[in-house]
Amino acid sequence: MISLLSDNPVSIAERTPAWCLLPSDAKAATLREVVSLPDKDARLRSMVDKHIDFVARVLRNSGTPESEIDDDLQRTFIAAANRLNDIRLGAERSFLLQIALRVAAHARRTVARRREVQTEEPPDLVESFATPEQLTDQRQARIMLDRVLDQMDSDLRRVFVLHEFEELKMSEIAEVLEIPQGTVASRLRRARLEFRERVLAFQGPTKPR
């Protein structure tokens, strides 16, 4: 696992949202209404099954609160269903990514408007063999990650999340965000620096030995 203080920022693989720990059938259950039309059924079911975890991670790490991921997942796939004829074969993942980023941006604006109302998120679901110490570490890491990402510039955060967490190539990010690849590289460098600085600020000064 990559340390929060390493040159390459923390991997999200070990901090997948709790919702994503559910079995595949359970995760897709609330989305089945999207695929009711016979002509769309096979393709939409395939999109849900193949990309639901990916979309959930993008939403979570782009600013959607944990408690609203289920709703925003449905919004994302419903929007895709309504524009199914516009989605090129083989481009489903990129299309869902674009929708998820817009949905997450709306979620961030909503959270900002109600910032004064503080609510405690429910505890993450975790594997049963995790120790109390591991649970504490995971929870603290997730809280720190959320706070750091929340304070980052939205353009930098978007590039950072897609490259570091979802491991998209710069060319793929440039295509999805419709910006030059050089701009992606510049934003990524700035985002990595900002991420590291904010992590250090949250952890506080290192005590001398």
Residues 104 and 164 in one domain: no
Q: What pLDDT does 139 receive?
A: 76
60, 92, 123: which is the final residue of a domain?
123
Residue 157 sits in a domain whose CATH number is 1.10.10.10
Q: Is the domain of 71 the same as that of 90?
A: yes
Q: pLDDT tens digits, residue range 123-134?
A: 444 444 455 565
Query: Do 141 and 173 contact (CB within 8 A), yes or no?
Result: no
Please tell me whether residues 24 and 117 are part of one structural domain. yes
Judgement on whether residues 28 and 80 belong to the same structural domain of the protein = yes
The three-class DSSP label of residue 101 is: helix
Whether 105 and 142 share a structural domain: no
| 186: phi then psi, degrees, rounded to nearest 5 | -65, -45
Which of 103, 123, 143 is where one domain is finished?
A: 123
pLDDT digits (tens, 9 = 90+) for 41-70: 788 999 999 999 999 999 999 988 888 999
Which helix H or strand E contains 57, and what residues bound it?
A: helix 38-61
Tell me the pTM: 0.65
Residue 16 is predicted with a pLDDT of: 46
Q: Is 8 a member of any domain?
A: no
pLDDT for res 42: 86
Q: Is 92 helix (H, G, I), strand (E, B) or coil?
A: helix
Determine the pLDDT at residue 31: 60
- Tokens (6 digits) for 189: 């460098």
- Whether residues 116 and 65 share a domain: the answer is yes
pLDDT score of 185: 96
Identify whether residues 95 and 171 lie together within a single domain. no
Query: Among positive and negative, which fits the CA dihedral 116, 19, 170, 88?
Result: negative
pLDDT: is 13 or 77 the higher one?
Answer: 77
> SS3 of 120, please?
coil
Domain that holds residue 93: 18-123
- Do 57 and 109 lie in a common domain? yes
Looking at the structure, tell me whether residues 103 and 135 fall in a common domain. Answer: no
- The answer to whether position 43 is within a domain reads yes
| Domain of residue 62, CATH code | 1.10.1740.10
Examine the domain organization and report whether 147 and 119 are in the same domain: no
Distance set, CA 96 to CA 17, 22, 74, 188 (Å): 18, 21, 12, 22
Unique residue bearing structure tokens 């809280």: 143
- Residue at which a domain ends, from 74, 97, 123: 123
12 occurs within a structural domain:
no
